[in-house]
Structure 1
Amino acid sequence: MPRPTRRQALAALAATGAQPARPKLIADENARPGSTDWQLSYVKFDAAAKYRQSVLEGYATRMSVKAGQEIGFCVSCVPASAVTIDVYRLGYYGGAGGRLVRSLGPVNVTPQPTPPVGPARLRECRWPAAAALTVPADWPSGVYLAKLSAAAHRYQSAVVFVVTDDRPADVLVQCSTNTWQAYNKWPDAHSLYDNDRPDRKPLVSGVRASFDRPFAKYPQVSDNPLSLGTGEFLLFEFPFAYWLEKHGYDVTYCTNEDVHASLETVTRRKAFLSIGHDEYWSRPQFDHVSEAVRRGVNVGFFSGNAVCFVTPFSPSSDGRPNRIIERRGRYGGIRPEEEKWMADLPEPGPDEATLIGARTVIPFNGSGDWVCTKPDHWAFAGTGMKAGDRIPGLVGWEHHGNPAPIPGLEVLAAGKTWNGAEQESHYEATIYPGPRGNTVFNAATIFWAQGLASPPGHWLPFVHNGRPHGPDPRVERITHNLLRRWTGVGG
């Protein structure tokens, strides 16, 4: 029989509902001209609610959207004004960091109300969509930023969202959207860390956070005004995505919600990456990633404080699914040394170390050097590192340690950290074999991405009297080595 043409093969694939792999998609995308104009130039935070910019702010009706689906942008402007919405895809783009993909408006935007405090301290906006778009079929998966600009004044803001897809790919980057929202104080003191308890314990149940509100400026560790409207992505995740796309990896993106909703989100890819500050996971999300490891997917926890709290979703007041989160349990249970901060977390979860290889340690805040302990391991090939060699400041501000008793687990790096009060803690970076030749790597630090790249607008964090130094060829080589082992390609 004659071999089908490429067009016929694609048509047959489309008939099954499957998507083609397209391994050169991201490389081709990043060959297109980029722009640094995605960055905010002018912001003005409120005097009282110091993380909020009430003169111009907005949020999206979805955190995750696929081609063919509609997403709305709910915007408030004081005073009423025409507002332009410029949508950028964030990536490498020759070092520019973004590409303009669509401009909407100008649209007329009026001031919108700050919602009252609801049950469980919920702040849920019900603003109308000022503009909407149906995601085109040719938009690659990625993190997108809608830049808001008002005609009535010079101030700007941003709305972040993720375009996801179902195509097979080598690498899946999960954005830590639950954690972005858990720390969101908008409008003033309404994160999952704010409550009215007399004992002042911050890590409790009974507080809910809605995705139907703007992202305020990130409130700790990194005082970067570019975080306005973008959660923690630009701070702790963008350097990794920028680096992956610079090197042409076959990467696709998703949110915590996508992994929660579908095991196949993970299993149709070769490697799953948790990046940065990935603290809040639903129980279905934990179960799906654990099952993916059993099925042979490679997993990289390039993160710290990951999988710490059991975080169920609930629908918005108008019935849209997965728009509200709440802290309901501690994975592995509350340890005695954690009782000073935690209480009333009734929903149990497995010990996160059984998945990660290690877990959040106490004290969990601090900074330190990433110290090589097993230089002969393949992960260190080409780095030139010897036992005891250090990557300065790479560990922080939260970290993993206390390795799990998993057969074959190895400790690749280990050392001490100190927090601002000079309390000593420790970390262990680990790797262990999965059942089908796959591996699970744990970098044991939120700051791994800081060692890979420094995109436009990126500021290195300084916390607990320590700081990472920025891109380091050893961090890059270790990451390349892992990705090559997991995908068969790489630098």
Structure 2
Amino acid sequence: MRVLRGITNWMLLAVLPVLLLAGCSFENDGVQPGGGGAGGGGTGRPAIAASPKAADTVAENALPGTPDWKLRKRGQADEIEGYADRVSVLPGESFQLFVSTTTRGFKVEAFRVGWYGGAQARKLWESPRQPGVRQAYPKVNNENYTVTAPWKPSLTVTTKDWPEGVYLLRLSADSGAQRFVPMTLRSAQTAGRLVILNATTTWQAYNLWGGHNLYNGPSGYGDRARAVSFDRPYDKDGTGKFMGYEHPAIVLAEKTGKQLAYATDNDLHANPDLLKGARGLVTLGHDEYWSTNMRTNVTKARDSGVNIAFLGANAVNRHIRFSPTKLGPDRLVTCYKDSSEDPVAKTDPKESTQDWRLPPAPRPESDLIGIMYNCFPAAGSFTVHRPGGWLFRGTGVREGTAFPGLIGPETDAINPAGPTPRPIEVLAHSPIDCGGVPKTADATYYTTKSGSGVVATGTMRWVCAMRGPKCGHGVTEAGRRFVTKATENLLLAMAAGPLGATYPVKDNLREFTG
């Protein structure tokens, strides 16, 4: 979130009305010359012959992995980079890649993320060498500072025989420079499975490719983008926020052997029945930007018995709108961050794009998550308060057990002004330093009348901590073991059915609100 509002906004919550919302061949026929193949973009739905069969997580991860899936050499910023005309596709559908390189040629390899005996990915496909082209410079819209890459398609990729999951497409230039392009092969149906949600809107919000994102422009906050487009590459390694906030959790989820389904924020927005019959929804380390449809669809799923896990913090904080681009629907994310700037604030206040908790139609995120965003920059130790519960079973923790570095850089906490679902149990209550101001971060569990359970970790570093000391920030090996075991407990319990039926909440909110 980065910018916190003044204390008056917190006080406002107490008096303003809150609306409750309610195995693959390496044949060359998978690649076609640029310009053909799939039309549209975003979450567009081209026709296919039949719905693909759901992937078997156990069978898939029993296959040999490919340890050599990471970037060997990033090279110069423009040496090679690319993007796809779709955020997700169904298995068997095609998508176009737009690639720019300063070298004479390049190739593409597709790696599916998973456990694979510790290899963490499996290579399913490789393209023939493609001719390299240095494409046009970024185009910036002077009205809202939206950046696009007005490029010509380089090749069309057909996902025949690719199972559902998250893929990293590795672009390799003749020079050896490499970048990734992420692609989600979404699930046609999610009934009986845990749905892993890629936070694609947040990836794009922070994407500074071309000089503008929703936080900054060349001159700072003033010329930040008011809308960001998927019609451009991601900066840095090309994966957005995926590697730091999602990859370790997906590897762990696949390792559990539970049947998984995959979707993106764009899919959650576009499909009101996406979560119908699902056992649970898992949002990962940083899922900040949500549309009305996203929030409505998740609330409806929760109220029908679908469990939810928020393995991060600062989720459901920014309200957004989706719009189409020339490449297809839902490829433009609008967020003014200030209702005084948003032209719809007076005509359609419920769709104004500022923090969800703020006027003109405040709907604090705690109504769904249980806790709400309270700090950046945060630093501290995750401190256990209720050690005997099901979530911490087998971790060996006691009341007051603390794990250094696990709190940060943003946190959530119980907010006395609410709204706070009941019954709710505070599982961890962690003292933190919030840029020199003492505060606390909370992890919570609440249940609903439908039987669903909602767990929120309250820290953005939960997923990163699955890497142990490699996460940095003082995270220890003991912290890695704790987070890994607690997450396994959570995923296994969610997959078994509505959490509330098996694990009733021991409400302790009064300990923290008086």
Instruction: Tell me whether 472-481 or 154-163 shows the greater mean CA deviation.
Output: 472-481
Is the 1:310–1:330 Cα contact (8 Å) retained in structure 2?
no
Aligned residue number for residue 460 of structure 1: 471
1:178 aligns with 2:216: no
SS at 1:83's partner residue? strand
Q: Secondary structure at the match of 1:484?
A: helix
Change (3 A) 1:406 1:482: same
1:300 aligns with 2:306: no
CA distance in 2, matches of 1:303, 1:388: 21
Q: Secondary structure at the match of 2:329?
A: coil
Q: What is the CA distance between 1:469 and its match in structure 2?
A: 5.1
Superposed CA deviations along residues 79-109 of structure 1, whole A, max 9, x for unmatched, are: 4x12111111111111111111111121112
Deviation, 1:471, is 5.7
2:134 is equivalent to residue 128 of structure 1:
no
Which of 265, 272, 293 does residue 274 from structure 2 map onto?
A: 265
1:381-460 paired onto structure 2 within 5 Å: 381-403=393-415, 404=418, 405-419=420-434, 421-453=435-467, 459-460=470-471
Shift of residue 160, structure 1, vs aligned partner: 0.9
Please report how far the alpha carbon of residue 477 of structure 1 lies from its aligned counterpart in structure 2 after TM superposition. Answer: 2.6
Aligned with 2:485 (options 463, 468, 477): 477
C-alpha distance in structure 2 between counterparts of 1:54 and 1:21, whole Å: 38
Q: Which residue of 51, 57, 73 corresponds with 1:26?
A: 57
CA contact (8 A) 2:101 2:134 kept: yes
- Taking structure 1 as reference, are residues 132 and 372 closer, same or farther at Cα in structure 2, changes over 3 Å only? same
What residue is the counterpart of 1:76 in the other structure? Answer: 100
Q: Tell me which residue corresponds to 1:143.
A: 166
Q: Percent identity?
A: 31
Decide which of 371, 395, 401 is 2:383's aligned counterpart: 371
- Report what 2:242 is aligned to: 233
Report 1:229-378 matches (<5 A).
Answer: 229-316=238-325, 318=326, 320-328=328-336, 348=361, 350-361=363-374, 363-378=375-390
* Letter paired with 1:32: L
Q: SS where residue 322 of structure 1 aligns?
A: strand
Q: CA deviation at 1:349?
A: 5.0
CA deviation vs aligned residue, 1:194-229 (integer Å, no higher than 9, x gap) = 2488xx657x99611111111111xxxxxxxxxx11
Q: What runs of 5+ residues in structure 2 fail to find an aligned partner?
A: 1-48, 340-353, 498-514
Q: Distance in 2 between matches of 1:410 and 1:366?
A: 22
Checking the alignment, whether the CA contact within 8 Å between 1:450 and 1:471 is kept in structure 2 is no
Structure 2 CA distance for aligned equivalents of residues 470 and 379 of structure 1? 17
Q: Which amino acid aligns with 1:308?
A: N
Q: Which one-letter code corresponds to 1:215 in the other structure?
A: Y
Q: Which amino acid aligns with 1:156?
A: Q
Aligned-partner SS, 1:311: strand
For 1:163, the equivalent position in structure 2 comes to 185
Q: CA deviation at 1:328?
A: 4.1
Find the residue that maps to 1:253 and give its secondary structure: strand
Amino acid at match of 1:34: G
The DSSP-based 3-state class of the residue aligned with 2:232 is coil
CA distance in 1 between partners of 2:483 and 2:95 (Å): 37
| Residue 215 of structure 1 pairs with residue 223 of structure 2 | no
Deviation at 1:382, TM superposition (A): 2.3
Judged with a 3 Å threshold, the aligned counterparts in structure 2 of structure 1 residues 319 and 96 are, in CA distance, closer, same or farther, namely: closer
The one-letter code sitting in structure 1 at the alignment partner of 2:102 is V
Preserved contact between residue 253 and residue 488 of structure 2 (Cα < 8 Å): no
Gap change, CA 1:437 and 1:129, over 3 Å in 2:
same
> What is the CA-CA distance between 1:442 and the residue it aligns to?
0.6
Contact 1:392 1:469 (C-alpha < 8 Å) held by counterparts = no
What's the CA shift for 1:191? 0.9
Aligned counterparts of 1:170 and 1:263: Cα–Cα separation in 2: 17
CA–CA separation in structure 2 for the residues paired with 1:36 and 1:191: 33
8 Å contact kept, 2:54–2:164: no
Where do 4+ consecutive residues of structure 1 move more than 6 Å?
16-19
Q: 1:374 to 1:342 in 2, by over 3 A?
A: closer
Q: Give the distance between the partners of 2:369 and 2:394, measured in 1 at CA.
A: 25
Structure 1 distance, partners of 2:432, 2:441, is 7
Alpha-carbon distance between aligned partners in 2 of 1:406 and 1:43, rounded to the nearest angstrom: 46
2:239 & 2:254 partners in 1: Cα distance?
19
Cα 1:132–1:445, aligned 2, differ >3 Å: closer, same or farther?
A: same
Q: What SS does structure 2 have at the residue aligned with 1:321?
A: strand
Note the C-alpha offset of 1:348.
3.8
- Deviation, 1:321, is 0.5
In 2 relative to 1, CA 144–169 (structure 1 residues): closer, same or farther, beyond 3 Å?
farther
Q: From 35, 39, 45, give the equivalent of 2:66.
A: 35
For 1:26, the aligned partner's letter is T
Distance in 2 separating the partners of 1:19 and 1:439: 30
1:11 aligns with: none
Which letter does structure 2 place at the counterpart of 1:293?
A: R
User: Over residues 114-156 of structure 1, what are the superposed CA-to-partner deviations in whole Å (9 max), with x where a residue is unaligned?
Assistant: 13311300111121221112222x32211111111122x1211
1:27 to partner: Cα distance: 1.1
2:364 maps to a residue whose letter is D
What secondary structure does 2:274 align onto? helix
- The offset of 1:78, in angstroms, is 0.7
Q: Secondary structure of 2:386's partner?
A: coil
Q: Aligned equivalents of 1:278 and 1:410: distance in 2? A: 23
Query: Could you tell me how far 1:452 is from its partner in structure 2?
Result: 3.1
| Structure 1 residue 467 displacement after superposition | 4.6
Q: RMSD value over aligned CA atoms? A: 2.7
Give the length in aligned residue pairs. Answer: 430
Q: Give, in angstroms, the shift of residue 301 of structure 1.
A: 0.5
Question: Using the alignment, how far apart are the partners of 1:422 and 1:443 within structure 2?
Answer: 22
Equivalent residue letter for 1:460: C
Where 1:180 maps in the other structure, the secondary structure is helix
Distance in 1 separating the partners of 2:53 and 2:80: 40
Deviations 1:159-182 (CA, angstroms, capped at 9, x unpaired):
111110123342111011111111
Structure 1 gap segments, 5+ residues each: 1-15, 46-52, 218-227, 332-340
